[in-house]
Amino acid sequence: MNISQNIKVAVDAVVFGYEEGQVRILLIKQKFGVYKDRWALPGGFVLDGESLSGAVERELREESGVAVDYMEQLCTFGDDVARDPRAQVISVAYLALVNPSKLRLRASSDAKEAKWFPADNIPELAFDHNTIIAKGLERLKAKVSYQPLGFDLLEKEFPFSDLENLYRAILGRDIDRRNFRKKLMSFGFLEETDKMRKIGSGRPAKLFVFNKQEYRRLESEGIHFEIKYA
């Protein structure tokens, strides 16, 4: 059978960060093309002989200077054959979690600028990237409601209130704080340190660290986690 095909494959990265009580998303400003000077997600075409994960990691490094520890495949976008004015392009989107305070953004390649935007104040983006971000937020909210996540978004040592605030920011609603704390502490992957931190005008708060090894062990056995709302 003779097959005539001219479809290109691309990758896009929905990178979530958390800073100053806000969930943020990494965007880059296009340097070239029909969407020049428009904001977009980091991403680009997959090279011949390159894996999808390798392509998205390369594009993140080239366009923003960012390397991530946590990444998962989000969704494939291609039902709209005109989603990219250059050609028929299928894009495989990835979701990543990072702590912005640990990163120094550095735009390069075909990116003119790299910047964090509040997730609730995203401009009109190039291509169908607003739709991709909406899907990413949907996945993030779903995941944190049934699986303890988000530690990649926090400092290495953090007060428990930071974790509560992170979940409230992601979910967009108040949680039952007492139930949330009791449930998370029961798993054993949060470890209390002997350090304290002064927060505002209140009393100093104990700092915690995340035991990733213990979390991975529990994850392999299956973790049942359900958030109760206030």
C-alpha distances (whole Å) from 7 to each of 82, 86, 92, 199 are 12, 11, 13, 54
By C-alpha distance, which of 86, 83, 66, 51 is closest to 13? 66
User: Cβ distance 107 to 63 under 8 Å?
Assistant: yes
Catalytic (active site) residue 72:
no
Angle at 148 between CA 40 and CA 166, to 5 degrees: 55
pTM of the model: 0.90
Q: Give the pair of three-digit tokens for residue 9.
A: 């494959």
φ, ψ of residue 22 to 5 degrees: the values are -120, 140
**What is the rounded end-to-end Cα distance, in angstroms, of the chain?**
60
Task: Note the Cα 57 to chain centre separation in Å.
Answer: 13
Kindly name the residue from 20, 50, 113, 191 that is annotated as catalytic: 113
- Looking at residue 148, its pLDDT comes to 76
- Looking at residue 69, its pLDDT comes to 80
Angle at 185 between CA 156 and CA 141, to 5 degrees: 70
Beta pairing, strands 89-97 & 8-19: parallel
Domains defined along the chain, listed by start: 8-145 (3.90.79.10), 147-221 (1.10.10.10)
Strands (DSSP E) found in 111-228: 111-118, 157-159, 190-197, 205-210
Tens place of pLDDT per residue across the chain (230 aa): 677 788 999 999 999 999 888 999 999 999 999 999 999 999 999 999 999 999 999 999 999 999 988 899 999 999 999 999 999 999 999 999 999 988 899 998 889 999 999 999 999 999 999 999 999 999 999 888 777 777 888 889 999 999 999 999 999 889 999 999 999 999 999 999 999 887 777 788 899 999 989 988 988 888 777 888 87
